[in-house]
Amino acid sequence: MENTYSNENETINIEKEEFRQYLKSAERGDNEEKAFQLNLGYCYEKAFQWFLKSAEGENHNGQNNLGTCYRDGIGTIKDEGKAFQQYLKSAEGESSTGQINLGYCYFNGNGTIKDEGKAFQGSHKGHNNLGHCYRYGIGITKDEGKAFQLFLKSAEGGEK
């Protein structure tokens, strides 16, 4: 995997391991590492811009990734409401990752009203997560029979 970013003077291709080294160096925070921090900032800003462009083109994975940028403040200001909206678009486009992230928003009330009933609707991964809740009694009465049925439904849908 390669990460690419540009500044005014150059375009730089960074291999995954190099990116990790940039991150590690930037986290040290001493004066020599300020350039690494700046370079990481360019990477995150560019990632946000590309995810935005992808999301505007109705790419459901781009919408999900843009939601994560808004949720975590990556390349933009943190905004749980915008994150929720992007996850919703992604989920409506049948992205299983978008469905899971939307479920977390509903489960925790991030960017929306908390609604545990909506939290696990939609995907096979959601059925697996709901099974986990029934198995351990998280937010619902413990019921290992229902947990098993949900795990089975999830597995039949292709989840491991």
Secondary structure of 8-60 in HEC code, one letter for each residue: CCCEEEEEHHHHHHHHHHHHHCCHHHHHHHHHHHHHHHHHHHHHHHHHHCCCH
> Using CA atoms, how far apart are residues 86 and 60, in angstroms rounded to an integer?
9
Shared domain check, 138 and 108 = no
> Using CA atoms, how far apart are residues 12 and 43, in angstroms rounded to an integer?
10
Mean pLDDT to the nearest integer, 125-133: 74
Shared domain check, 145 and 120 = no
Shared domain check, 139 and 102 = no
Question: Quick one: pLDDT band at residue 159, thresholds 50, 70, 90?
Answer: low
CA angle (7, 82, 58) in 5-degree steps:
75
Q: What is the per-residue pLDDT for 63?
A: 95
Structurally, how many domains does the chain consist of?
Answer: 2
Q: What is the pLDDT of residues 66-102, one digit of tens each?
A: 999 999 998 899 999 999 999 999 988 878 788 888 9
On whether residue 64 sits in a domain, the answer given is yes
Shared domain check, 105 and 69 = yes
Shared domain check, 50 and 109 = yes
Shared domain check, 117 and 100 = yes
Residue 104, pLDDT > 70, answer yes
Mean pLDDT to the nearest integer, 35-52: 79
Shared domain check, 53 and 90 = yes
Shared domain check, 114 and 136 = no
Q: What is the pTM of this model?
A: 0.63
Shared domain check, 134 and 122 = no
Question: Quick one: pLDDT band at residue 1, thresholds 50, 70, 90?
Answer: very low
